[in-house]
Amino acid sequence: MEDTSSRKKRGWIWATFFTVMGIIYVTDGLRSPETEMGRLLMGAGFLLAAPQAFFSPISFANPDLKFIKVSPVDWLGMAGVLLLVSGLVVRWL
């Protein structure tokens, strides 16, 4: 069982927000995938960034950047950000 200090570190709000936004964008993009490719990419990006937001939320008051130890969840978060940016580029072109 997890202790209370590790539970407090979890980013429930951000993970829930990213998951809801990902579901909204994916379902909206699936209505017409030919014209809404940007929304599909953004939805996939939000869904890939959700685990990173849950397991390693950024503390804005005291950021602890870990550049040496990169976990698979961090790679998912980076891929999610790349998909979000590419979805924005596709939507605005």
**For the chain, which residues make up each domain, given as ranges?**
11-57+71-92
pLDDT score at 74: 80
pLDDT score at 73: 83
pLDDT score at 61: 47
pTM for the whole thing? 0.76
Which residue from 74, 24, 12, 13 is spatially nearest to 49, judged by alpha carbons?
74
Contact 14, 46 (CB under 8 A): no
Alpha carbon 58 to chain centroid distance?
Answer: 13
pLDDT score at 89: 93
Greatest CA span in the chain, whole angstroms? Answer: 49
Q: Which of the 8 DSSP states describes residue 67?
A: S
- How confident is the chain (93 residues) per 10-residue block, as mean pLDDT? 55 90 93 84 93 73 58 85 92 85
Contact 6, 59 (CB under 8 A): no
pLDDT score at 1: 46
